[in-house]
């Protein structure tokens, strides 16, 4: 089986994305701290201002226009997460206990029994076992190539829609930062035009609040998407690795059985 290069390439891409996301997180953290400092300064300037208790709708409206794309991203991410959970029930099913039972049947010469056991399961391991047993008379290199084709096909199915979660993890903090920048620009404008009255100074809190709401929402969405993305990636790697191991074990058992059945001249 020759999928190690693919796995290494995926690991390198994941490491690069992790560094990029760490930079985004650092930028977001600095921005949030700056916004919090702005809140403290504004509260000192307007001690009479009172903090309003915001509900979900008020929180959404206070976050500015970037809350709408964040809402779309969140709904899309939820749909992908639910769909992947359902799909991985079959696509990542490694049929625990199937391979030892199949190998026992193969070594006993009961190939139909092995096919019957594999036919009772779904997933990459069951498909690989069925293909290898059905083509047991082929050379070893050809058997390995058949198994690799099945593994690659399942890996592509397991990666379906994952780019959406990956994109949501990257875009959400960026949108939050955009909302933060817009909010802070409004804060500076209000500071420059604010009068001496407490009412004028209290208006400053609106822009700071918008920046904080947008940033907090963007980071929250990114954390959820990143967590589920890593979960699905881990399941995909586990399914691919166990399928490759199962294929190697079944091919070895078939080769041993074929050598025993070859008549000695």
pLDDT digits (tens, 9 = 90+) for 130-152: 999 999 999 999 999 999 999 99
CB of 237 closer than 8 Å to CB of 7? yes
CB of 244 closer than 8 Å to CB of 1? yes
User: Does residue 1 surpass a pLDDT of 60?
Assistant: no
Q: Which residues contact 54 (CB under 8 A, 6 or more apart)?
A: 62
Q: Where are the domains of the chain?
A: 4-47+87-261
pLDDT digits (tens, 9 = 90+) for 222-239: 999 999 999 999 999 999
The DSSP call for residue 3 is -
Alpha carbons 34 and 180: distance in angstroms, whole number: 10
CB of 42 closer than 8 Å to CB of 201? yes
Alpha carbons 223 and 178: distance in angstroms, whole number: 18
Looking at per-residue pLDDT, the higher value among 20 and 129 belongs to: 129
pLDDT digits (tens, 9 = 90+) for 193-205: 655 556 655 666 5
Which is nearest to 251 in space by CA: 174, 153, 141, 154? 141
Measured on CA atoms in the order 152, 157, 159, 164, is the torsion positive or negative?
positive
Q: Count CB-CB contacts under 10 A for residue 217.
A: 22
The DSSP call for residue 232 is H
Alpha carbons 167 and 182: distance in angstroms, whole number: 22
Which is nearest to 182 in space by CA: 220, 215, 223? 215
Alpha carbons 166 and 132: distance in angstroms, whole number: 35
Alpha carbons 29 and 34: distance in angstroms, whole number: 9
Mean residue pLDDT of the chain comes to: 80
């Amino acid at each position: 089986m020759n999928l190690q290069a693919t796995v290494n390439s995926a690991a390198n891409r994941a490491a690069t994305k992790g560094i990029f996301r760490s930079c985004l997180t650092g930028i977001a953290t600095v921005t949030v701290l700056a916004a919090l400092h702005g809140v403290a300064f504004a509260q000192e300037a307007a001690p009479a201002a009172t903090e309003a208790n915001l509900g979900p709708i008020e929180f959404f409206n206070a976050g500015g226009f970037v809350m709408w794309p964040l809402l779309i991203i969140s709904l899309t991410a939820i749909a992908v997460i639910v769909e992947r959970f359902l799909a991985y029930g079959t696509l990542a099913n490694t049929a625990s206990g199937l391979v030892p039972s199949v190998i026992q049947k193969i070594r006993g010469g009961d190939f139909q029994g092995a096919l019957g056991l594999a036919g009772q399961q779904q997933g990459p391991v069951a498909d690989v076992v069925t293909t290898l047993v059905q083509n047991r008379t082929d050379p070893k290199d050809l058997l390995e190539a058949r198994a690799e084709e099945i593994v690659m096909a399942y890996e592509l199915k397991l990666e379906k829609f994952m780019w959406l979660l990956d994109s949501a993890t990257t875009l959400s903090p960026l949108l939050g930062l955009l909302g933060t920048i817009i909010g802070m620009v409004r804060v500076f404008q209000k500071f420059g035009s604010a009068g001496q009255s407490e009412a004028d100074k209290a208006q400053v809190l609106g822009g700071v609040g918008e920046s904080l709401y947008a940033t907090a929402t963007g980071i929250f969405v990114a954390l959820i998407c990143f967590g589920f993305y890593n979960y699905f990636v881990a399941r995909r790697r586990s399914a691919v690795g166990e399928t490759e191991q199962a294929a190697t074990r079944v091919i070895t058992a078939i080769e041993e059985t074929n050598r025993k059945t070859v008549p000695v001249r």
